[in-house]
Every structure is written in structure tokens, then in C-alpha cells.
Structure 1
Amino acid sequence: MLNNRILIIGLIWPEPEATAAGSRMLQLIHFFIKQGYEISFASAGTKSDLSFDFSDLSVSCFDIELNNSSFDVILKKLDPAMVVFDRFLTEEQYGWRVQQTCPDAIRILDTEDLHFLRKSREMALKKGTDNWIQFIQNDTTKREIASIFRSDISLIISQFEYKLLQEEFNIDASLLFYLPFLVDVPGNQHLAELPEFDQRQHFMTIGNFRHQPNLDAVKYLHSHIWPLIRKELPDANLEVYGPYAPEAIKQLHKPQNGFLIKGWIADKKEAFAHSRICLAPLRFGAGQKGKLLDAMLYGTPSITSTIGAEGMEVATKWNGFIEDQTEIFASKAIQLYQDKSLWINAQKTGYEILRRNYDKQTYEYQFNKKLKLLQKEIIRHRKSNFIGSLLSHHQHQSTKFMSKWIEAKNLLNDKIIK
């Protein structure tokens, strides 16, 4: 009987209504359900009020512990044909256990975005330079690249990152698969139901505040960009949405200045569809930006940075403007807010980008085809990845012994406490 079992190991329990990473994970789960897989989801993370409720889906859920051999028991019982690691951190923690207990299982790494790229850009920003490439070989890079080599296939969400991995780190294309956000491209009926230019007002931005690029962007908006916009548009507001806002962000709430910290919103469509412009001046980051994709889906033109738009559209068109200079960013936002014709054209461009780059059926077909080929040729595939086998041998041995040492230490501490 064909083994159709798949195990997904989550770094955290998905929060699709709060984070782009959560949306991405749910897209993958729906894909596997459609292909007829029997899905199990496991995580050592703590559930929150925003964690997705799997009860409506045919997904078995397991709480697991870090550095605990009880996971091996679960793994042996599940005997999955495929294991998906949610970001390289889970591959580091559980990869050796999967390889030891289920050596034939296909190991898939969902990178979400390249953490080392985000890290190098953050380092560059702190040093006051745009030359992030000089910081590219940091510790996170070495760990994440090693994880990509150890995996049978890594899902890359951005064409920019796909190219970077091949050109900068000589990773063979056979180890990578480009898989952007999987979107049901809106039809004419959906678009017709959205509020029009005259029915919308104000600016908005949104993002999970546990994600450092979002935190930085809102602070930058408050201190540099919004004062310039507000000076020209004194009746406009900027509404800031997103969960987990720290006190430093909450203190930026100033109704008299039109800067409104709204917090988490259950229906993000409401935030987008009633706003005229989305602002996203991201100064560092990686991957594709969920907020900018949502802006296109809900017909909300956006102003973002080069980093914000990166990986979203290979051509030069955007559903608004791409601008890195503070003063020009603000002036473009003012112009787009006031010019109805320009706004309508920007909205149409967003729909074009969605249709050209994010059609779910196209990428699901390609991904399914890739997985079937990988299952068929896994032995040859692994033999051609000598660096991966080398890294697995050395890295997993060290991780394995460290994990077992921690587990033994924890057991000893439990006995002492008792």
C-alpha cells in the first residue's frame, strides 16, 4: 500500500490571521490535503489565542518536546513518507531524528524566507550602510545553508533568494524549488464588490510585531514619513494593525497626529478594503511580504521599499510606487492618495501582478510534479548531493549528542526536584 503520510514539524503553531508565515503554512497544508495526504502536524511551540484551529481539517496534531526521545516514538509510529520542516531551526533540532528513525522519508525544508538574508540586512542597517552583502557570511548563514544542503528539497518563496542561493553559495537547482504564496486569483465579481476610490479613506499598515522588520518600519513611519504626509494631508490618519505590539509601539498612538495603533484585527480584509493606501517602508527583511500581497488582493495600492517589493514582481511595474528615499516616499504617497486616475491604474496593476505571478493552480501542479519525481528518484538524488550527506554526518552527530546530553540533564534535574 502506498505510504501517503506526511509529518509537518512547525516552529510554532500557525497563526494565519496574524502572520504571513502562518498563511504560508496553511497554504501548504491545504495543498497536501488536496493531493490526498494523511497529515500530522507537530510543534514544541505554545499555542496562543491566534493559533489556527485544526479541528475543521483532517489533520492530526501533536505536542512535542525539544531534546526529548519521545519524539522518536511518535515518528516511528507515524512512519511518514515525507517530513516538512518549518524553517531551518526545526531541521536543526529534528532532522537527525527523522534521518535516523525514517531514513527513507523525503525531507522538505520550507525556508519561509532566508533568515540569514534578513539578518545581514539588519546588520547593515545598524552600521548605516546599504552594502548588506558584506555581512552575508554570518553564523545564521552557515546554519541555514547547511540545513538546505541536508534537506532533499528546500522551498524558496522568492526568485531573488532562489538566484542568490545558486550564485552566492553554489547550491544546485536540484535542491531548490521556487514556490511563492499560493493565491486564488480574484475574479471580476470579487473586484466589483470592493470599495472604490471615493469610498475609501486614510492610510494603513499591518504586520506581526514579533517580526523585527515590521517593528522597525512602524517606528520609521512614525518618526520620518508620517509627519511629512500629515503636513500635506492634515485630515488623513495612518491606522496601524498587527498583533503583539510592545509598549514602545503602543506609546506611538497619537490621535491628535492621526497616528493610530489599532492592534490585531480579526478580518484583515476590513483593514485593507476601507483604506486608500497601504504603506510598507521596510528597511530590512527577506522573502515575499504578505501585507503587500494582501494589498493587491483587496485592491489597495501600496508604497513600499525596494526590499519590500523584492521577490514580489520581476518586472518594474508595481501597484503603486517602490521608493527608498524618505521625502520621495512621502510625496508619492500623497500623490497616490489624491490622484484618482493614478490610484485606479495602480489597483489594476496589482491585479495583473497577481494573475501573472501567483496563480495557485499553476504552482500546485508544478510542486506536485516535483514531489512525485523526487519520490521516484530519491536514491539518485541523494547520491548526487555529497555535501548534504557530509554535513548530515558531522552536523547531526554533534546535534544528536548535544540533544541527548540535554535530555539526560533534564531527566536528572527532574529526579532531583522530585
Structure 2
Amino acid sequence: MAPIAFIIGTVWPEPRSSAAGQHLLSLLSELKQLGYIIHFASTAQRSENSEGLDELGCVVHEIVLNDSSFDQLIAQLQPEIAVFDRFMIEEQFSWRIKKVAPNTCLILDTEDFHSLRYLRHQIVKKHPEQAVDIPSLLEINAGPGPFQGCLNSDFAVREIASMWRCDINLIISQAEVALLHTYYGLPKNILHYCPFLMANDGAELGTPRAIDKRKDFVFIGNYRHAPNWDAVQILAKHLWPLIRKQLPQAKCRIYGAYTPEKAQQFHNPKQGLLISGWAKDAQATIQEARVHLVPLRFGAGLKGKIFDSLRVGTPCVGSDIAWEGISTDVTAHSLLTLNDYENFAEQAVALYADEDKWLTEQVKGQQILENDFVYTTHSAALKNKIQTVTQDLNTHRAPLFMQKMLEQTQYRATRFMSQWIEAKQTIEQLRDADLPPETD
């Protein structure tokens, strides 16, 4: 009988709304190719943008927190692997799986390094003049000042502990692999570099649209993701006025899923700034534009919007955070000072107006994909990692003393808290059942 892969999602995947949704579906596809029967579960409500997983051949389960019915489901299925979509899901469910299916290989799909993104956000809010790339963060963390020891936050402790408890951690950025190994000391055998699993061959993507078939600027990003909302504000308040001054006929179209009402304050057709709502096809939308603006001031992981641009041949002007983990062979900007905004705008105008420069950047983007993000290479590496670990899980776990120690401490604390909540809910249900019916 085929082995079972049990995936627990933070939400039901929305591949048309976020890169995280695309990445999770790509992972499901890889597991199906390995011969797994896919079971997908989530505690979240499905939205109108959720992918129809049952239509893709997955068995779906709606589960609840702090309920032993989950234990019964896992005990019955005995999955060979369990995949947690972000570390918060691992905290809630891994102890239950370990209890009833101890030989299940636990895989954490990190999506990105959440505590790193949160830390950068805090620094941007409190010290907007402070650079927040990884090298500068290591200096800030070690030196005197308000952010000394910032990489050791309670949030980071939770996330790193979650990674230790898992047998494989899928890390989407090489920059984060390096940080996790060199600073946090996670062993390389539980870290697996797994970028976006996208086919980049010309047969699928076709010939990129020529520059004379494109117009205007574009930004695209899910508004529920804090870095994107911040980028929209930076673009509207600081960058677009500088760009529009030099290109008075140009427009910038800002797209995003879950556009909030507050975003409409920036809709200004007279100045060429258009809040355009949700894009049904992100790649097609980006391909219509001449230049993609990606002014992210904080974030983590890889940026799906950058990859979409590279795949459809739309040159980007992005921040250093936007390009992190993708390429160092680009002109990136920290977006900390007025001078940075002016440099960003100058680069955007030059790229828009200079066809030779535009073509050079388009070719450079294709080379990045062809050199560093070959689908077949990363697909084979992922499959080999999963097969190697699952074939001899005990040998893989034997030297991981920290894994066992964390199961005894914080891991058990999470377990007992969950059991206490479940018991409390049961008592309340029994009490309510004993109450006499209400009368008028």
C-alpha cells in the first residue's frame, strides 16, 4: 500500500493570492510524484480563493485545535511523513503525532524565517534609518545598543526549538540556511534548502513580451502580508512622486489580494497611481508592465513577486531585502533615507526609458533562473532527502540530542497546555448539558 503524507496547513492553500500558497502546492506535487497518498488538513476556514485540493486527488480533513480526535485520525492513518506549514502548526500538532505515530518523519515547511521578518519589522518601525540585511543584523545583535541580542528573542527561541524538533526543515533561502547554521547552530542534516519549485524552461513560459508591447510600472502583493502593505505606502508616499516627476505620462498599477479600504487613499488617477485590486493571473499582469517596483523594507524568505518577474522577463527595481537569497548581481537599495528613495527612483526611470539597459536586465534575470533555480535540480534533491531520511529515521535521529531534550521541556509544556484546554472545554460542555432548559 502506498505511504501516506499528512500535511497540516496554516490556511487552505491560495496559490493565486500568495507565493506561500504556490510553494505549498508545489510541495504536494513533489510528494505525489514520490508515490505518497496526500492527506491535507487545516483548522482554518476555506476562502473563495482556496485551491480545490480534493479535486487534485488529496484527501482533505477539517480539524480542530486541542482535540483528541486529531490523535485518533493520525493513529488510524500512521503516515510515513507529516508536513507542518509554518512552525506555529508544528507547536500545536507535532507532540500529538509523536504520541500516536512515533515513527512518522516530521517535516517543517518554514516558508520563511518568521522571527527574522518580525525582527526586521520592529527595527524598521523603531529605527527606520537602520539597515536590516543579515550581515548588519549580526553586527547589531553583537554590538551595544537597543537591539543587542535581538536575534535571541522569545519569538526566535520558539521558532528554532520547532526546527530542532523536526527531522527535516525546508528552508527557502540560502541566506537563511547560513544564518540558521552559523548563528543558531542547527545541524546541516536537518536543514534542506528548498527554493520555489517552478519550471523555468522556455517551453512552459514562452517568449517574454517585447519592451514595445509593455507599458507602465507595477507592484503586486497580498495586503495581508505586512511587508507588502508597508511597500505600498513607501511607493505611494515617497517613490512614485519622484518617478512621476520625470515620467509624467507613466502610470503605476498596484495589485494585491485582500485590498483593504485604507489603500484607496492612495488611488490617484490624475497622478497615474492606480489601486487595482486583485490580479487573477499575477504573471500575466506583471508581463504587461515594463518595470516591476519591489520596495520592500523588511521581510524574509524568497519573494514570489521577484520570481514571477524573472519568469516573464519583466525587469525589477527592488530593495536589498527583496533580492535577498536570489541574487547579489543586482542594483538593490536599502530604502532608509531620502537619498535611497532618490536612487531607487533614478534606477526605475533609467530602466523604463533605456531599452538597452532594459534588455540587459531582462537577460540577467533569465540567467539567475537558469543558473541557480533549475527545477529539476531542486526537485531531485528534495526527493532524495525525504527518501534518505525516511528509509532510516532512527539513524537520522540518533545524534540529535537537542531534539530529544526539547521534547522533554518546551515540547511537553505545549502538550500539557493543549490537554488542559481540551479538558476545560469538555468540563464546560458537560456542565452545559446538565443545565435545565431555559424557560420564558
Normalised by the shorter chain, which TM-score bucket? over 0.9
RMSD: 1.4
Which one is further off, 42-51 or 394-403? 394-403
Q: Could you give the per-residue CA deviations for residues 255-296 of structure 1, whole angstroms, max 9, x where no partner exists?
A: 111111111111112211110011011100000000000000
SS in 1 for 2:409: helix
Q: Pick from 239, 243, 246 the counterpart of residue 253 of structure 2.
A: 239
- What does 1:270-281 align with in structure 2 at a 5 Å threshold? 270-281=284-295
Q: Pick from 225, 247, 251 the counterpart of residue 239 of structure 2.
A: 225
Q: Pick from 219, 222, 225 the counterpart of residue 205 of structure 1.
A: 219
Gaps of 5+ in 2: 142-149, 335-339, 434-440
Gaps of 5+ in 1: none
The whole-number CA distance in structure 1 between the counterparts of 2:432 and 2:306 is 51
The whole-number CA distance in structure 2 between the counterparts of 1:132 and 1:190 is 37
Determine whether 1:139 maps to 2:154.
Answer: yes
Task: Tell me how far 1:246 sits from its aligned partner.
Answer: 1.8
Query: Which residue is 1:62 aligned to?
Result: 61
Q: Could you give the per-residue CA deviations for residues 103-154 of structure 1, whole angstroms, max 9, x where no partner exists?
A: 0000000110000110111111112122544322112100000000000010
Query: Which residue is 2:145 aligned to?
Result: none
Q: Could you give the per-residue CA deviations for residues 394-416 of structure 1, whole angstroms, max 9, x where no partner exists?
A: 12211111111111222333345
> Could you tell me whether the CA contact under 8 Å between 1:17 and 1:266 is conserved in 2?
yes
Query: Which residue is 2:110 aligned to?
Result: 111
SS in 2 for 1:174: helix
The whole-number CA distance in structure 1 between the counterparts of 2:294 and 2:99 is 44
SS in 2 for 1:370: helix
Q: Pick from 184, 195, 200 the counterpart of residue 169 of structure 1.
A: 184
Note closer, same or farther for the CA distance 1:201–1:391 as it changes in structure 2 (3 Å cut): same
Q: Could you give the per-residue CA deviations for residues 348-394 of structure 1, whole angstroms, max 9, x where no partner exists?
A: 11111111121111111111111111122311221211011100121
The whole-number CA distance in structure 1 between the counterparts of 2:153 and 2:275 is 35
Letter of the 1:99 counterpart: K
Consecutive aligned runs of 4 or more in structure 1 exceeding 6 Å deviation: none
Letter of the 1:113 counterpart: D
- What does 1:234-383 align with in structure 2 at a 5 Å threshold? 234-313=248-327, 316-318=328-330, 321-324=331-334, 325-383=340-398
Note closer, same or farther for the CA distance 1:61–1:189 as it changes in structure 2 (3 Å cut): closer
SS in 1 for 2:41: strand
> Could you tell me whether the CA contact under 8 Å between 1:123 and 1:132 is conserved in 2?
no
Determine whether 1:19 maps to 2:18.
Answer: yes
Query: Which residue is 1:412 aligned to?
Result: 427
Determine whether 1:185 maps to 2:200.
Answer: yes
Task: Tell me how far 1:332 sits from its aligned partner.
Answer: 0.2
TM-score, with structure 2 as normaliser? 0.91
The whole-number CA distance in structure 2 between the counterparts of 1:200 and 1:410 is 58
Which one is further off, 296-305 or 240-249? 240-249
Q: Could you give the per-residue CA deviations for residues 166-188 of structure 1, whole angstroms, max 9, x where no partner exists?
A: 11111110110001101111316
> Could you tell me whether the CA contact under 8 Å between 1:120 and 1:132 is conserved in 2?
no
SS in 1 for 2:218: strand
TM-score, with structure 1 as normaliser? 0.96
Task: Tell me how far 1:239 sits from its aligned partner.
Answer: 0.5
Query: Which residue is 1:398 aligned to?
Result: 413
Determine whether 1:82 maps to 2:81.
Answer: yes
